[in-house]
Amino acid sequence: MPAFELNRDNFETEVYESDLPVLVDFWAPWCGPCQEVLPIVEELSAELEGRVKVCKLNVDGSKEIARKFRVMTIPTVIVFKNGEKVAEKIYPKSREEILSMLEGL
């Protein structure tokens, strides 16, 4: 299953009201490093289905959400649990780095 596309209209419902932990990849289509991380995020979306909701948010269309979470560099991956931010990593370079953010959830 591909990563769920978030936007300003569905962010609150999909992230804050989720029963599962939510991993959000803040990215943009013009960002080279984001293109390196995106396949990892897509792979994890399929692998973690039913245990973690994996999403991506294009910051170009949702600047206010990026600002709210002080995302100044992309790619940034943030994990939310029960509507609260519990982990953050700027430019994770491997699948293992992203998975380590989910340990203990």
Any idea which residues carry the catalytic annotation? 31, 34
Q: Residue ranges of the alpha helices (H) in 5-62?
A: 11, 32-47
- Residue 12: count of CB within 10 angstroms of its CB: 12
- Residue 88 carries which DSSP code? E
Query: Beta-strand (E) ranges in the chain?
Result: 4-6, 22-27, 53-58, 76-81, 84-90
